[in-house]
Chains A and B, each alone.
Chain A
Amino acid sequence: NAGVMQNPRHLVRRRGQEARLRCSPMKGHSHVYWYRQLPEEGLKFMVYLQKENIIDESGMPKERFSAEFPKEGPSILRIQQVVRGDSAAYFCASSPFGPTGEKLFFGSGTQLSVL
């Protein structure tokens, strides 16, 4: 049973470009969470999605960031017009239960570097 799969592992973008980060949850998991870890900091919650729905985006920056989890395919975190401050490790986690569950299972992350 494969774990949470994230790709790419490393992504380099120039300022102003778009970044697309993909996450395939564990088999049977329909709840996806995105976290961001800035250098020397902990993981900060960004957004929680179920299939086709955004449930909680309270941690998402109001501009340039969006997320989706379509009925078919992986969850996508999209960052438009990237800036240097977006450089961070972005982790996706999945859960079979969502709000009634407990622990989250994390992927290996995508390291975004903005030049």
Chain B
Amino acid sequence: DQQVKQNSPSLSVQEGRISILNCDYTNSMFDYFLWYKKYPAEGPTFLISISSIKDKNEDGRFTVFLNKSAKHLSLHIVPSQPGDSAVYFCAASATQYVSSNTGKLIFGQGTTLQVKP
């Protein structure tokens, strides 16, 4: 049962253009969403997050949008740079449901982003 889905395994974008990575979720209890970036042979590193009380969060070149009714979030990177080439993971957590929440994150399958110079 894949509760967090990233349906695009890969994405290729030209340097300077916008990269849009998408993520869908099925569990209505999820109320906190994160994006992690992962380079080969390294662990995931936190990129940006959003709480379900918001629909947008921005940090420099990175913006995450949340559409709760559609159970969909997206990560926008603009402008894209070659150094952004990595695997991007969407993750979700149910922080408000104390009885079942253990702080664990549920991850999507990842999207490999390639930014071409």
Show the binding face of A for B, using Cβ within 8 Å.
4, 6, 31, 33, 35, 41-45, 48, 55-56, 59, 91, 93, 95, 97-109, 111
B110 & A45 in contact (Cβ 8 Å cutoff): no
Residues on B with beta carbons closer than 8 Å to the beta carbon of A105: 46
- The CA of A55 and the CA of B108, in the complex, are separated in Å by 23
Compute the total of residue contacts between A and B using a CB distance below 8 Å. 69
Residues on A with beta carbons closer than 8 Å to the beta carbon of B101: 99
CB distance from A84 to the nearest CB of B (A): 21
B102 & A56 in contact (Cβ 8 Å cutoff): yes
A-B contact pairs, 22 of them (CB 8 A): A6-B43, A42-B4, A42-B89, A42-B107, A43-B89, A45-B107, A55-B102, A56-B102, A93-B43, A99-B98, A99-B102, A99-B103, A101-B103, A102-B32, A102-B93, A104-B103, A106-B36, A106-B43, A107-B43, A108-B41, A108-B42, A108-B43
Within residues 92 to 117 of chain B, which ones have a CB less than 8 A from any CB in chain A? Answer: 93, 95, 98, 101-110
- The CA of A56 and the CA of B93, in the complex, are separated in Å by 14
Report the contact-size class of chain B (Cβ under 8 Å from the partner).
20 to 34
Residues on B with beta carbons closer than 8 Å to the beta carbon of A55: 102
CB distance from A64 to the nearest CB of B (A): 21
4 smallest CB-CB distances across A and B, nearest first, come from A106-B43, A56-B102, A42-B109, A42-B107
CB distance from A8 to the nearest CB of B (A): 13
CB distance from A11 to the nearest CB of B (A): 14
B104 & A4 in contact (Cβ 8 Å cutoff): no
